[in-house]
Structure 1
Amino acid sequence: MVAHRKLRETKYERRREYDSEIAQLKERKMLERWIDNMWIEVELEEARAHRLEIDLQVEQRNEKGKGMENMFELLLGMTEEVYAFQQNKNSEELDKR
């Protein structure tokens, strides 16, 4: 009987150790999956930030382009006014002759 009791205690102890090892392995695998998922999320966030930065640069470039277009239109309008003024001045000088 004592031998059976020791055998049962030994089996119980081995089973506890086995369960403990299994639990540790499960926790380790879960932690590894969590770390992998975190890295994936970090990479996705970096890609998203990069896309947002590119979108911001495109938007800024478009705004600068619109500003330059407005400036060009103003210069063109001024040039047309100067040309019309010069034509009128020249025609007045021709009429005086």
Structure 2
Amino acid sequence: MPREREYELLMVLSPALDEAGSSKAVENVHKLISDRGGNLTAQEDWGLKRLAYPLRDFREGNYHLARFTIEVGQLRDLEASLRLREEVLRHLLTRVEA
């Protein structure tokens, strides 16, 4: 029986994206999660924030937090897909303790 756990995904999106582009990027990531059998439980847009150091020559990034449940076996594929997304400058995926 597959085990489903709850995770949080914090993403730093490119500031070069306009509001529509940023929304589309977030929707695409949510689709990546749902395509792998995950269920989005919460999301927050933290807006544009200054970075501690430049990422790909950007000094700011759009922060977005998503909370979701997904089977443990799908995480490796999800992380690989996130690494390939150009609009995602950096991401952090953590398990939420019960």
Q: TM-score, normalised by structure 1?
A: 0.21
More strand by share: 2
Q: TM-score, normalised by structure 2?
A: 0.21
More helix by share: 1
Tell me which structure has the larger Cα radius of gyration: 1
